[in-house]
Amino acid sequence: MEMAKASTQPSGKDAPGTETKVPHLRLVFSQKCISPEVIDHPFPGSGTEIDPYMVDWLPNDPRNPHEIATGMKWLITMIMAFGTLSISMSSSIFSGALPQIGEDFDVSRQLSVASISLFVLGFAVGPMSWAPLSEIYGRQIIYAITFTLATVFGGASIASKNIATLLVLRFFTGVCGSSAIVNAAGVISDMFEAKDRGLAVMVYTSAPFLGPSLGPICGGFLAQSSGWRWVDGLTVIFTGVMLILGLVLVPETYGPYLLMQRAKYLSKFHGKVCISKLEAGKPNETAGTVLRNAIARPWAILFLEPIVTLLSIYSAIVYGILYLIFTAFPIIFQGQRHWSQGVAGLSYVGVMVGQILAMIIYAFMETSNQKRISKEPSRQTPEARLDPAILGGVLLPMGLFWFAWTTLTSIHWAVSIVGSTLFGIGQVLLFISLINYIIDTYTVFSASALAGAAILRALFGAAFPLFTTNMYERLGIQWGSSVPAFLALACAPMPFFFRKFGRRLRERSKLAQEAHKTMTRMMTRGAQVVEKELVVSSDGRFQDEI
């Protein structure tokens, strides 16, 4: 059959050339979802090697992720957000069970803390593979395999007979579970148009912030009453439930992969050459080449782009301080104030309340910024995104110093909790603002830029808890708590610096300028935005392939 000459006219209320609705479960369990309308659609081309059929979405195509019903999009978003929450909560939940781990395995507190650090270290290792693999094999299969492994490793760690086994299994749980963070952002980007994506992104980004704060609150009481193995069991139950919901309700959403699968099926069915429209003109690279380039790209941007380097170091320090706090709070509230293990876990509520308040503040500031831009479009620059970071950069050291010098037992505990709340506000305002600034600066290269920042952030998050106990033993509570405050204070001028000089730095950055030109060219052509492949030549310069 000649595809270019054949066309099936659907009956009923469906317009010609459109697809009828299909059950959602069919979308979940059939990636190709081939219908008579797809088989007989007159795709452009002649089916030869020189002029292949260009397979694209049909109008109202139910397999197009953008055409998923709005209610189902939000259900999928919530599943992915809670999946991310289950992993981020698992990273810190052991901070409420460190005494039981140390007693059970007869090890020092520092070695017990490694169960947190190695889990977070997995956040640096995993995404280097999961992100590019999801673009080669689709998000669904990567999520299914890695989240299953995360649940299995988590379950196996419950039965650990020694600390070495526990640490190894915690590391691999973090490596595999980190795919949730990568997949959630990708799935949301796949389903929502840019203009509708803001609220969904806000819901998703709340999970990596709230999870680490929620973990110790749950872990403290459970460890005190039932032991650390039940704490681990709680995380396994949580991830297991999200795994099942993801397998049953979340379909494949990566458009390029879906169209490629459709093109392969049509090539086999018709005996003609069919390719995805999104693959047209791209070099024919092996999966290994794509994977190697994808792994190297974030590191190249991280070390060769000053904007990314400086902002990544800042956000990594703040992320490290967050995990330092998870280790410090038991020292302060259990050791100095003699709170019970469960009650001490409630001390993290201050940080969590601050994080929630920060989201409200950010939404208000962003709305106000968009109103100003609508009246004066010239104000729409990446630097306009930095106002929340400026506020957050001030609140961070303020909250940390406040906390450090109000931990004296002569001062009511609520006063120091207020300081931790200020830290929570500053942390989230800073993170969201810097992420948006990097996205606006590097546009088509932003995924790789953010991946590099995430790797460095996870490394700091893994390292900081390891020296916290020794630092507090040598410096004492007040000065030990002041060390992260001084670090935050040293970094506080950075948002002001980029607000004033960011434009000059962007103009000197070849990658930022290339990203701007590429985005302008795409918008002018009205073409679909597809991230370009970034290549680093042997002399260290950035190049790109079209």
pLDDT reported for residue 437: 86
Provide the token pair at 92: 């810190």
Q: Kindly state the average pLDDT of the residues 499-516.
A: 84
- Residues 509, 511, 517: CA angle, nearest 5 degrees: 105
Candidates 153, 127, 152; CA nearest to 142 is 127
Report whether pLDDT(174) > 90.
yes
Q: Kindly state the average pLDDT of the residues 220-248.
A: 92
pLDDT reported for residue 538: 38
CB distance 405 to 479 below 8 Å = no
CA-CA-CA-CA torsion for 388, 394, 400, 406, nearest 10 degrees?
A: -120
pLDDT reported for residue 324: 92
Report the distance separating Cα 26 and Cα 10, nearest Å: 20
Report whether pLDDT(418) > 60.
yes
Candidates 290, 291, 294; CA nearest to 452 is 294
Report whether pLDDT(1) > 70.
no
Taking only Cα atoms into account, the Rg of the chain, rounded to an integer number of angstroms, comes to: 25
pLDDT reported for residue 20: 57
CB distance 426 to 492 below 8 Å = no
CB distance 282 to 172 below 8 Å = no
Q: What is the pLDDT of residues 301-328, one digit of tens each?
A: 888 889 999 999 999 999 999 989 888 9
Residues 6+ apart with CB under 8 A from 512: 305, 307, 441, 442, 505, 506
- Selected residue with higher pLDDT from 183 and 495: 495
Report the distance separating Cα 29 and Cα 27, nearest Å: 6
pLDDT reported for residue 487: 95
Report whether pLDDT(333) > 60.
yes
Q: Kindly state the average pLDDT of the residues 133-137.
A: 81
CB distance 243 to 148 below 8 Å = yes
Q: Find the range with the poorest average confidence among 33-37, 100-104, 427-431, 493-497.
A: 33-37
Report the distance separating Cα 304 and Cα 543, nearest Å: 13
Q: What is the pLDDT of residues 4-52, one digit of tens each?
A: 444 333 333 344 445 556 777 777 777 666 777 888 788 888 888 888 8
- Selected residue with higher pLDDT from 542 and 92: 92
pLDDT band at 115 (very low <50, low <70, confident <90, very high): very high
pLDDT band at 129 (very low <50, low <70, confident <90, very high): confident
Alpha helices in 250-377 (DSSP H): 255-270, 287-304, 306-329, 341-345, 349-375
Highest mean pLDDT pick, 136-150, 257-271, 290-304, 391-405: 391-405
Q: What is the DSSP string of 443-499?
A: GGGHHHHHHHHHHHHHHHHHHHHHHHHHHHHHHHHHHHHHHHHHHHHHHTHHHHHHH
Q: How many residues in total does the chain contain?
A: 546
Report whether pLDDT(284) > 50.
yes
- Selected residue with higher pLDDT from 402 and 435: 402
CB distance 299 to 483 below 8 Å = no
How many helices and strands, by DSSP H and E, does the chain display?
21, 4
Q: What is the pLDDT of residues 358-385, one digit of tens each?
A: 989 988 888 888 788 777 776 678 888 8
Report the distance separating Cα 398 and Cα 396, nearest Å: 5
The CA–CA distances, whole Å, from 68 to 38, 39, 75, 183, 516 equal: 17, 21, 11, 17, 31
Average pLDDT along the chain: 83
pLDDT band at 179 (very low <50, low <70, confident <90, very high): confident
Residues 6+ apart with CB under 8 A from 152: none
The CA–CA distances, whole Å, from 324 to 195, 317, 425, 485 equal: 37, 10, 17, 12
Q: Kindly state the average pLDDT of the residues 522-531.
A: 45
Share of the chain above pLDDT 90, in %: 35
pLDDT reported for residue 526: 42
- Per DSSP, the three-state class of 545 is strand
Report the distance separating Cα 373 and Cα 369, nearest Å: 6
Interaxial angle between packed helices 306-329 and 109-125, expressed in degrees from 0 to 180 and rounded to the nearest 10: 150
Q: What is the pLDDT of residues 429-454, one digit of tens each?
A: 998 888 888 878 887 677 678 778 88
- Selected residue with higher pLDDT from 4 and 357: 357
pLDDT reported for residue 14: 43
Q: What is the DSSP letter of 14?
A: P
Q: Is the dihedral of CA 494, 403, 228, 219 positive or negative?
A: negative
CB distance 187 to 139 below 8 Å = yes
Q: Kindly state the average pLDDT of the residues 197-209.
A: 76
pLDDT reported for residue 254: 85
Provide the token pair at 164: 């070495």
Q: How many CB atoms lie within 10 A of CB 544?
A: 14
Residues 6+ apart with CB under 8 A from 177: 86, 87, 90, 122, 126, 146, 147, 150, 154, 239
Report the distance separating Cα 128 and Cα 353, nearest Å: 32
- Per DSSP, the three-state class of 403 is helix
User: Which domains are present in the chain?
Assistant: 65-253 (1.20.1250.20), 297-523 (1.20.1250.20)
**Amino acid, single-letter form, for residue 36:** P
Report the distance separating Cα 433 and Cα 226, nearest Å: 40
Say how far residue 313 (Cα) sits from the centre of its chain. 17
Provide the token pair at 401: 């110093």
